[in-house]
Amino acid sequence: MRESIFETLVGIAVLAVAGVFLWFGLARGADTGPTGEVVELGARFSSAATIDRGTDVRMAGVKIGTVRDVSLDRDRAEALVTLAVDSEILPLGDGTSARVQSEGLLGGAYINIEPAEGFGEIIACGAEEELFGESGCGEILYAQGSVDLMTLFASFASGNGGDSE
């Protein structure tokens, strides 16, 4: 009799912990991004391996949008990433960069926008202009893809940790 009560209590504790994880996951997923007017910006990455539709776009740690689309430019062998961001972040200097960053070793990735001054401004595309087109509208020119941690760890394990002799 005593064992069945203990097993019941352990089962209740397991269900409570699972409920907390479920609540945390749903609460975190409820953050949908910008609530005002949205504009599309684009960036070209050499690798977008950790980026999918819905990936967060942040500036100074604050979510300002999400990834709307990821496609391949076959001519240049680059990933074209379309970002849907809050229009209030504009104007951005044309020295602005986009960098794929990791939330941690086991966490996901996000795109961090780092505003910078330049000689001009990044402007949103008009009705007749196309993102990644010849006009260059809405395109962030400086983009850095994600670091492949497995390749990095393998280089350290093999003794090629970046030291060249």
Q: What is the pLDDT of residue 53?
A: 93
d(C-alpha 160, C-alpha 156), whole Å: 6
Contacts of 102 (CB under 8 A, 6+ apart): 50, 108, 109, 146, 147, 149
Question: To 5 degrees, how large is the angle CA 84–CA 80–CA 50?
Answer: 80
Cα–Cα distance for residue pair 33/37, rounded to 1 Å: 11
Calpha distance 152→141 (Å, rounded): 26
DSSP 5-66: HHHHHHHHHHHHHHHHHHHHHHHHHT-----S-EEEEEEEES--TT--TT-EEEETTEEEEE
- pLDDT (tens, 9 = 90+) of the chain, 165 residues, equals 667 888 888 889 999 998 888 877 666 555 545 557 888 899 999 988 889 999 999 999 899 999 999 999 999 999 999 999 998 888 888 889 999 998 877 778 999 999 987 667 777 777 667 777 777 778 888 888 876 667 777 777 887 655 554
H helix or E strand, kind and range, residue 158 = none
Q: Find the angle CA(112)-CA(98)-CA(152) to the nearest 5 degrees.
A: 80
SS3 content of the chain, % helix, strand, coil (to 5): 25, 35, 45
Q: Give the global pTM.
A: 0.67
Phi and psi at residue 32, in whole multiples of 5°? -95, -5
Radius of gyration for the alpha carbons in the chain, expressed in angstroms and rounded: 21
Domain parsing of the chain, residue ranges: 1-30, 38-147
